[in-house]
Amino acid sequence: MQAGRIFVCILSAMVGVSLPQVVFASETTHTKHAHHKSTDADKKQDAPVAHAAKTPSTHKARASSKSQSVAKASVAKASPARKVTKAVSKPSEDALELDAAGNPRIQSSAFYVQDVASGQVLLQKNSSVVQPIASITKLMTMMVVLDAHQNLNDVIEVTEDDVDHLRNSSSHLPVGTRLSREDLMHLALMASENRAAAALARNYPGGMQPFLAAMNAKAHQMGLQETHFFDGTGLTKNNVSSARDLALMVANAAHYPLIREFSTSAEYTVDLGRGRNRAFHNTNALVKSSDWQIDVSKTGFINESGRCLVMQAWFNNKQLAIVLLDSVGHYTRIGDANRIRKWLEASANRHPVASGASARRPVSASL
Q: What is the value of pTM for the model shown?
A: 0.71
Structure confidence at residue 274 as a pLDDT band (50, 70, 90): confident
Across the range 246-257, mean pLDDT stands at 98
State the catalytic residue, choosing from 26, 192, 241, 327: 192
Each residue of 159-178: pLDDT tens digit?
Answer: 999 999 999 999 999 999 99
Q: Is residue 31 predicted with pLDDT exceeding 90?
A: no
Choose the catalytic residue: 18, 57, 108, 135. Answer: 135
SS (H, E, C) 82-128: HHHHHHHCCCCCCCCCECCCCCECCCCCEEEEEECCCCCEEEEECCC
Q: Residue 197 — φ and ψ, nearest 5°?
A: -65, -40
Instruction: Give the span between the Cα atoms of 92 and 96, in whole angstroms.
Output: 9
> 330: pLDDT confidence band, cut at 50, 70 and 90?
confident
Whether the CB-CB separation of 108 and 305 falls below 8 Å is answered with: no
Told to judge if 86 belongs to the known catalytic residues of this protein, a careful annotator would answer no
Burial of 2 (0-12, 13-18, 19+ CB in 10 A): exposed
pLDDT interval class at 94 (50, 70, 90): very low
Task: Tell me whether residue 135 is one of the annotated catalytic residues.
Answer: yes
From 79, 135, 65, select the one nearest 282 (Cα to Cα).
Answer: 135
Average pLDDT over residues 345-362: 54
Rounded average pLDDT over 185-205: 98
Higher pLDDT, 58 or 143: 143
How high is the pLDDT of residue 20? 40
Note if 66 is an active site residue: no
Note the pLDDT of residue 102: 79
* pLDDT recorded at residue 11: 43
Residue 28, pLDDT score? 34
> What pLDDT, on a 0 to 100 scale, did the predictor assign at position 98?
82
Q: Which of 63, 53, 55 is nearest to 26 (CA)?
A: 53
Mean of per-residue pLDDT scores for the chain: 79
Residue 36 has pLDDT above 90, yes or no: no
Mean pLDDT confidence for 81-105 = 56
Q: Bridge-partner residues for 309, per DSSP?
A: 299, 324
Mean pLDDT lowest for which of 44-58, 133-147, 293-307, 330-344?
44-58
Q: Which residue in 32, 138, 218, 298 is the catalytic one?
A: 138
pLDDT in tens, 98-146: 877 778 989 999 999 999 999 999 999 999 999 999 999 999 999 999 9
Percent of the chain with pLDDT over 70: 69
Bridge-based pairing state of the strands 306-315 and 178-180: unpaired
Ranges for all domains in the chain classified under CATH 3.40.710.10: 110-346
**pLDDT at residue 22 is higher than 60:** no
- Into which CATH architecture does domain 110-346 fall? 3-Layer(aba) Sandwich (3.40)
Q: How much is the pLDDT for 350? A: 57
Least confident span in 27-36, 144-153, 213-222, 280-289:
27-36
Residue 318: the pLDDT is 92
The secondary structure of residue 354, as a DSSP letter, is -
pLDDT at 321 over 50: yes
Rounded mean pLDDT of 217-241? 98
Q: What is the mean pLDDT of residues 186-208?
A: 98
- What is the DSSP code string of 172-237? SS-TT-EEEHHHHHHHHHHS--HHHHHHHHHTSTT-HHHHHHHHHHHHHHHT-TT-B-S-SSS-ST
